[in-house]
Amino acid sequence: MIDGVREVRRAVENGFEITELYLCQTGITTGNRDALLDIAARVDTATFLLPSAIFSKISFGNRNEGVVAVAAERRRDLSDLQLPSNPFLMVLDGIEKPGNVGAVFRSATAAGVDAILLTNSLCEPFNPNSVRASLGTVFELPFASCNVTQAMDFCERIGVSTVVTRVDGDQLYTDCNYQDPIAIVLGSEAAGVQDTWKTCRSVIIPMKKGMDSLNISATAAVLAFEVARQRA
């Protein structure tokens, strides 16, 4: 299920099949109403108008933008990814919180990441909380789920070097060269990356006052925009 104007619009614009569309009859701002009418006109599926009391039962969280859609899932394998000649990938290794996954998608999309690999994922990117945190960018940014070995083999096969973020990294993240094809690997806040990744070169984000970690979405944003800066 997809809740929210921007989220549903991104799903529609990126070719996801909407199988059901629910619109709220009341309490919608003028701007949202125009957007909802545009979405309804572009979707060839059953559309239901619901009173506010019923709509609130199916909407997610406490933000009612007047639209909830049901979409058919679209799965991608590594072989489905279409990448540019100098790709920039992110690898999320064993991330378990949907909100974190969604927030990484949002930052990664803004910074120009070409695709995300989810290794041994404990989180479904299409979880409503992930969709909401991503502002719908989970429908826009290509991703594929795989295990660590598959991800490493894929990167080696297409000529992408891997850089792991670690609290004991080999060099400052700003000292690393990201000009060539690159994959940034981020692990969970609790466990970090799996041991298999620890043979790869690593970077560290310097911190003060005894802190040794950031939320993964913050780390992803820092690294992604550093790559974007170097490639600008």
Each residue's pLDDT tens digit, 114-127: 999 999 877 888 99
Q: What is the pLDDT of residue 84?
A: 96
30-42 vs 5-13: helix axis angle to the nearest 10?
Answer: 30
pTM recorded for the entire structure: 0.91
Query: For the domain 2-71, what is the CATH superfamily, name and number?
Result: Ribosomal protein L30/S12 (3.30.1330.30)
- Is the pLDDT at 30 greater than 70, yes or no? no
- Is the pLDDT at 134 greater than 90, yes or no? yes
Q: What is the pLDDT of residue 130?
A: 93
Q: Which residue has the higher pLDDT, 26 or 110?
A: 110
Q: The tokens 């925009």 sit on which residue?
A: 225
User: What is the mean pLDDT of the segment spanning 35-51?
Assistant: 83
Q: What is the pLDDT of residue 38?
A: 80
Q: What is the DSSP string of the chain?
A: -EESHHHHHHHHHTTPPEEEEEEESSS--HHHHHHHHHHHHH--SEEEEE-HHHHHHHS-TT---SEEEEE------GGG----SS-EEEEEES---HHHHHHHHHHHHHHT--EEEEES-SS-TTSHHHHHHHTTGGGTS-EEEE-HHHHHHHHHHTT-EEEEE-TT-SEEGGGS--SSSEEEEEEBTTTBS-GGGGGSEEEE----TT-----HHHHHHHHHHHHHHHH-
**CB neighbour list of residue 34: distance below 8 Å, 6 or more residues apart:** none
CATH of the domain spanning 78-231, picked from 3.40.309.10, 1.10.10.10, 3.40.1280.10, 3.30.930.10: 3.40.1280.10
- Residue 41's pLDDT band (cuts 50, 70, 90): confident
Mind listing the pLDDT tens digit for each residue in 74-96? 878 899 999 999 999 999 998 98
- The residue extents of the domains of the chain are 2-71, 78-231
Q: What is the pLDDT of residue 209?
A: 80
